[in-house]
Amino acid sequence: MLALEPAWRWAFTRITLTPTHLIVRTGAVHRREQTLAWTDVGTVDSRQPWAFVPWRLRAMTLSQAGDERTKVSLWAADDALHHDVTASIHRTVHAAQRAVSDGHTEAVGDAKTEDLLLYRARIGQLLLASVVYGQFALIGGGAAMAFSEWLQTFSVDKVIAGWIRLTPAAWAFVLIGVIGTLGVLLTVFRYANFEVRRAGDGRLVISYGLLSTHVRSVSPQATIGVVLQRNIVETALGRVRLSLLTTDSAAQAGTNLVLPSLPRRSVERLLHEAFGEDPSTPLLTADRGFRAVGTGVAVLASISAAAVLAGWTTSGWGWSPALILAAGGFAIALVWPASRVLCSRLHANPESDRVALLISHLVQRQTILSAGAVHVIATTRFLSHPLLVCLSYYAGMPRTFRAPLFSVREVDALSTRMVRGVPPPRTRRRP
């Protein structure tokens, strides 16, 4: 069945490209037809695993939102189909730009016909990123476990143990070294040739991979903001990560990764030059990080103190060790989300079209949204005193940001802007 499945799928798949739509028909018994307008394509993912390279095939995914039902997959696209799909998307984007532009902007748009290289990662940056992100432990741990299982399956581990006699502590150090080395090498191998380009039609193209390549193209209409993030280690080193926030960012972290960990001044320059970020928007990169490190240490101490207090209290009640640990974990589960909300701040400059959402926790994270991407904003008050602001937007899924630190004037200005942008209702009440 596994051998026949690719041939069966290929035999009963029909792909039709029209000037306005992509139509994919699949199935023999259970027929399915998917239709996607070129104007609705937000992101295009093109993956070429190493097994597809000899056949010059790619797996393409065209997305318009975060729901899997809104995605159209082309399982094995050859070079001709890949070229036709890409050309249709570019042709539609250029037609839309010409339709909405006047003579001046059209002249400017014609000048930007060449691809612009925004960033190319070096080996040293990939090595540092693998350590800072912790990817070396995840990837290296999985590779080490798979290799260990292979050794046990063929009884090679007993032969190695007979040749090399080490203490358990020495074996532990060897295992840690193997995990770290494999993790760093596999991370660099996976993200080799990491490049970020801006196409002539304004689409952002992210590509990486050595044997298995991945190319992701994001349209300007699908981009609703950027995300800046740094953990305690990155904060101490003065480095920041930059990611895109798109309409198909459905609970994923690495899909829209644009830049690995870079110096904060380099991230600021790229934000202003490549993404046209408003200089009036306060960025977390403006802070060297000493305050953020202090906040992270204080939050970590508070969470640890809550867990210790819960364990100490329950131990005085004569609870068993398992229940004491459960009480400590329950305390952490309560304090963690509450502390994230207490460390959140909303900034919405009335003179700018950006909204900045900042969380200074163990990991400092700032989301810079387009004001037009905000759908709902609500304020909780107690005796006419504002306590909490809730802001909702869509990025692959409905998301809500809550912050006790905000300016009432800025929130009122953002609400007024949202009301002015809403079209008048088409229906009226009967007299």
Q: Do 317 and 334 belong to one domain?
A: yes
Alpha-carbon distance of 302 to 319, in angstroms, equals: 23
Q: Looking at the domain assignment, is residue 269 inside a domain?
A: yes
Q: Looking at the domain assignment, is residue 204 inside a domain?
A: no
- 7 pLDDT above the threshold of 70: yes
Q: Do 21 and 81 belong to one domain?
A: yes
Q: Do 26 and 144 belong to one domain?
A: no
Alpha-carbon distance of 184 to 189, in angstroms, equals: 8
Environment class of 14 (CB within 10 Å of its CB; exposed 0-12, middle 13-18, buried 19+): exposed
Of 5-14, 20-29, 227-236, 416-425, the one with minimum mean pLDDT is: 416-425
One-letter amino acid at 315 equals S
Of the pLDDT bands very low, low, confident and very high (cuts 50, 70, 90), residue 345 is very high
Q: Do 353 and 331 belong to one domain?
A: no
Its domain, for residue 312, covers: 301-339
Q: Looking at the domain assignment, is residue 100 inside a domain?
A: yes
- 423 pLDDT above the threshold of 60: no
Q: Looking at the domain assignment, is residue 431 inside a domain?
A: no
Higher-pLDDT residue of 348 and 351 is 348
Q: Which residue has the tokens 């689409």?
A: 203
Of 4-13, 95-104, 348-357, the one with minimum mean pLDDT is: 95-104
Alpha-carbon distance of 106 to 97, in angstroms, equals: 8
Tokens of 216: 């992701």
- 390 pLDDT above the threshold of 90: yes
Alpha-carbon distance of 242 to 222, in angstroms, equals: 17
Q: Do 11 and 22 belong to one domain?
A: yes
Instruction: Work out the average pLDDT over 379-400.
Output: 87
One-letter amino acid at 121 equals A
Of 35-49, 147-161, 301-315, 400-414, the one with minimum mean pLDDT is: 147-161
Q: Looking at the domain assignment, is residue 154 inside a domain?
A: yes
Q: Do 13 and 151 belong to one domain?
A: no
Q: Do 127 and 177 belong to one domain?
A: yes
- At 173-215, the pLDDT tens digits run 777 777 777 777 777 788 888 888 888 777 888 888 888 899 9
The strands making up 364-370's β-sheet, listed across from edge to edge, are 257-263, 239-246, 223-230, 364-370, 354-360, 344-347
Instruction: Give the side-chain half-sphere CA count within 13 A for 63.
Output: 23
- At 70-87, the pLDDT tens digits run 788 898 889 999 999 999
CB 60 within 8 A of CB 44: yes
Can you list the alpha helix ranges (DSSP code H) found in 261-351?
A: 264-274, 290-316, 321-342
Q: Do 383 and 400 belong to one domain?
A: yes
Q: Do 235 and 311 belong to one domain?
A: no
Number of domains, the chain: 4
Higher-pLDDT residue of 182 and 47 is 47
Of the pLDDT bands very low, low, confident and very high (cuts 50, 70, 90), residue 108 is very low
Q: Looking at the domain assignment, is residue 349 inside a domain?
A: yes
**Pairing between β-strand 21-26 and β-strand 13-17 as defined by DSSP bridges:** antiparallel
CB 54 within 8 A of CB 47: no
- At 271-299, the pLDDT tens digits run 776 666 666 667 776 666 667 777 888 88
3-state secondary structure of 289: coil
- At 132-150, the pLDDT tens digits run 666 656 655 666 677 667 7
Q: Do 25 and 13 belong to one domain?
A: yes
Query: In this structure, what CATH number is given to the domain that contains residue 80?
Result: 2.30.29
**So what's the pLDDT on residue 426?**
47
Q: Do 96 and 31 belong to one domain?
A: yes
- 111 pLDDT above the threshold of 50: no
Instruction: Work out the average pLDDT over 20-36.
Output: 89
3-state secondary structure of 102: coil
- 104 pLDDT above the threshold of 60: no
